[in-house]
Amino acid sequence: MVNNKEFAYDSERNIQTDFARNMTYEEYLKLDDILSAQHRLSDHHDEMLFIVIHQVSELWMKLILHEIHSAIDCIRQDDFSSAFKRLARVSKIQNQIISAWDVLSTLTPAEYIEFRDALGQASGFQSYQYRLIEFALGYKTPHILKIYQKNSELYAVLKEAFGAPGLYDVAIQALARAGFPISSEIVERDFSIPYNEDESVKNAWMKVYQNVDKYWELYELAEKFVDIEDWFQQWRFRHMKTVERIIGFKSGTGGSSGVSYLKKVLDHRFFPELWEIRTEL
């Protein structure tokens, strides 16, 4: 009769156990740095939940930026298949971030007020990675930059991203390269100015959707954009409802109007023409 313990041991004889000269999993991931970065400012048990959820979300946002910036480069080179892969991954990441709100919503108002004052003026509203994602998606508001003037290096990064073409800008340029008559004012515009919908862009996307076989890559690109915006709005909605559930209509710790502000941004669209043509098709 085979001894299961002996069989298991024999089948795993090649497992590495000597790491005197080899890199470990912990070392590769810098786990000491990551797992030592949760410092509660109060003695309340649930502050750990609050810190971890926000840190995990920031890590996911770092990956979103990594993928979106790569997708922008791919679209510029008309490498649409690689762009599709990056953008599909962004949508999957967004799903993960949305799920995080379900965990945070286990925090009750009575629990949150026990450590809220320890946060001072710090707020998720100040997340610079979130702003970089907004910039990459074309949503740019000049007054936001003032928040980051304390850190000159970070401010420079944000300022550069603020003036750079976003995901939709390079897609519109791709439409122009494909022969669509896009207004030169749009193709060569100042990218630091928030995008306003344009008739020539709308007409181009309409033709793409009416001739899917001919413009398959542009059609697929547009649908990837719609996926991302859809998930982004779901993230905004879950954010708003979680905040309302925990603090009601109080102002945010950073001075924002809280739920009222979050409700306003639900109406914003990154890719307006892609939504408008759905009514007209």
Residues 129, 85: Cα–Cα separation, whole Å: 22
What pLDDT digit, counting tens, does each position of 143-164 carry?
889 989 999 999 999 999 999 9
Please classify residue 75 by burial: count the beta carbons closer than 10 Å to its beta carbon, then call 0-12 exposed, 13-18 middle and 19+ buried: buried
User: Total domain count for the chain?
Assistant: 1
The pTM of the full predicted model, rounded to 2 decimals, is 0.90
Which pLDDT band, with edges at 50, 70 and 90, does 231 fall under?
A: very high
Structure-token pair, residue 156: 């420079």
Coil, helix or strand at residue 251 = coil
Amino acid at 77: Q
Residues within the annotated binding site for substrate? 50-54, 112, 116, 253
* 15 within a domain of the structure (yes/no): no
Strand ranges (E), the chain: none
* 171 within a domain of the structure (yes/no): yes
* 29 within a domain of the structure (yes/no): no
Q: What is the DSSP string of 173-238?
A: HHHHHTT----HHHHT--TTSPP---HHHHHHHHHHHH-TTTTHHHHHHHHHHHHHHHHHHHHHHH
Which pLDDT band, with edges at 50, 70 and 90, does 259 fall under?
A: confident
Contacts with 32 (C-beta within 8 Å, 6 or more apart), sequence order:
26
Q: What sign for the dihedral angle of Cα 22, 24, 28, 30?
A: negative
Mean pLDDT of all residues in 161-180:
97
Residues within the annotated binding site for heme? 239
Residues within the annotated binding site? 50-54, 112, 116, 239, 253
What residue numbers bound the domain in which 211 lies?
46-246+256-280
- CATH code for the domain in which residue 71 is found: 1.20.58.480
